[in-house]
Amino acid sequence: MSQQLLLGHRRMRLAVPLVGRDPDQHDRGATPLELFFDLVFVVAVALAAEGLHHSIAEAHTAEGLVRFVMIFCAIYWAWVNFTWFSSAYDTDDVLFRALTFLSMTGALVFAAGVPRVMADGDFSVIVAGYTLMRVAQILTWLRVVRGDEVRRATAVRYAGGLAVVQTAWVLTLLVLATPVWLAVCVPLAVVEVLLPLWAERSEAIPWHADHIAERYGLFMIIVLGESVLATSRAVQTALDEGAAGAFAPVFVGGLLVLFSVWWAYFERPGDHLGSSRWWPYAWSYLHLVMFAAVAAVGAGLALVIEEAAHHGEVSATTAAAAVTVPYGLFLLSLWGMYVRRDEHAVRRFGVPVVVAVVAALTLATRVGMAPGTVVLAVGLTAAALVVVEAWVRLRGGDGDGAVPV
C-alpha cells in the first residue's frame, strides 16, 4: 500500500494502452483513487440505510425493503463494475483518472436521488446518475477494445452489453408507469447479473485475486462503519431524551453483533477466487447479500434504540427482526462461501445452529421479550460464535486455513 500511495514516483502519462495488468503482480494493493472512489459510495449506503430505518419506523416495511434492496443492488453493481475493471486494467493515467471522476460524479448524482426513492419511489435521479456512471464504464471498455488484442471480443461484449442494458433502463423509465417499470426491473436485473458471464465466456479479464479480496474487505469496512454511525446517532438521540437506561441492552448487544461480523468476515482463509471459472461470480454475488445485510443491521439497531426510547411505535417482533433477519442473512451468506470445502464439524454446522437460535430469539418477542433484550441475546450468541471459532483455531483445527464457523 505504501508504494501505491507514492503518486510522484513515476512520470504521469496522458493515455496508456489498456493491455491488462499482471494477475500475479507482487504487492498489488488498493490505490488512492480506488479509496477516493469508495468514499462516494459511503454517502449512498448511508442514505439507503437511513431510508430503510425510517420506512420500517413509519410502518412501510415491505415498501421500504423493496426500495432498499433495489438501491443497494444498484450501488453494489456500480462498485463491482469499477472494482473488477480497475483490478485488471488500472493504468493510473490521466484519461483513466478523468473517466473515474466522471463515474464518481454519476455516483454522487445517484446518491442525491436515494432519498427520493425511499420517500416517494422516484427513480429518475438515480437512473440519471447511473447513466453517467455507465457512460464512463463504456468509454473505458472501448479503451480496452483498442488496447487489448487478446480480450478485444470480451471488451466489445462488455461495452455493447452495458450500452444496451442502460438504454433499456432509461427508455423503460420514460415510457412506463412506475408499477410496470418496477416489474420490468426484474428481468433487466437478471440481464445485468448474467452480462459478465456472457462477456467473459471466451476470455476472462486479468483481475488480481489479492487485490479483489482487499477491495471487498474495504467495502465491508464501509458498511460496518455506516452501521456504527447509525447506531451512534440513535444513541445520541436517546441520550438527549434522557432514555439512557432503555437502550443499554441494545447498545451492548449491537456492538457485540458488529464486532462479531468483523471477526467472522476477516478471520477467513485465502479466498481461492481462481478455484473455478464460475466461483468468482458466485463469491461476488454472495458478497452483495452480506454487504446489504450488514448495512441493514445498522438500520435495525437504530430502529430498536429509537423504539426503546419512544416505547415502541412498531411491534416488538418487527423491531427485533430488523436486526436479527439481516444478521442471519449475513451469517448464511458467509457460511455459503466456505462450507463447500470445510470439513470441520463445528464449523460446518455452527452457523445453521446459530441462525436457528437467532430465529427463536426473534419469536420470543411474541411472549413478552423486549426487542432490546433480544438484541442483547443475539449479541451474546454472536460472541459465542466467535469464541468457538477462536477455540477451534487455538486447538489447531484450521485445516487449510482459518474458516469461519
> pLDDT tens for residues 316-342?
899 999 999 999 999 999 888 877 666
Domains and CATH numbers, the chain: 30-199 (no CATH), 209-394 (1.20.1410)
Q: How far apart are CA 284 and CA 287, in angstroms?
A: 5
pTM (predicted TM-score) = 0.89
* Tens digits of residue pLDDT in 5-48: 444 445 678 888 888 888 888 888 899 999 999 998 889 999 99
Confidence at 111, pLDDT banded by 50, 70, 90:
very high
Are the beta carbons of 48 and 295 closer than 8 angstroms? yes
| Residue-level pLDDT at 95 | 94
| Residue-level pLDDT at 235 | 78
Are the beta carbons of 217 and 343 closer than 8 angstroms? no
* Residue 171: all three cell numbers together: 427508455
| Residue-level pLDDT at 343 | 52
Confidence at 348, pLDDT banded by 50, 70, 90:
low
Mean pLDDT of 124-144: 96
Backbone angles phi, psi at 311, to 5 degrees: 65, 40
Q: How far apart are CA 129 and CA 107, in angstroms?
A: 6
Percent of the chain with pLDDT over 70: 88
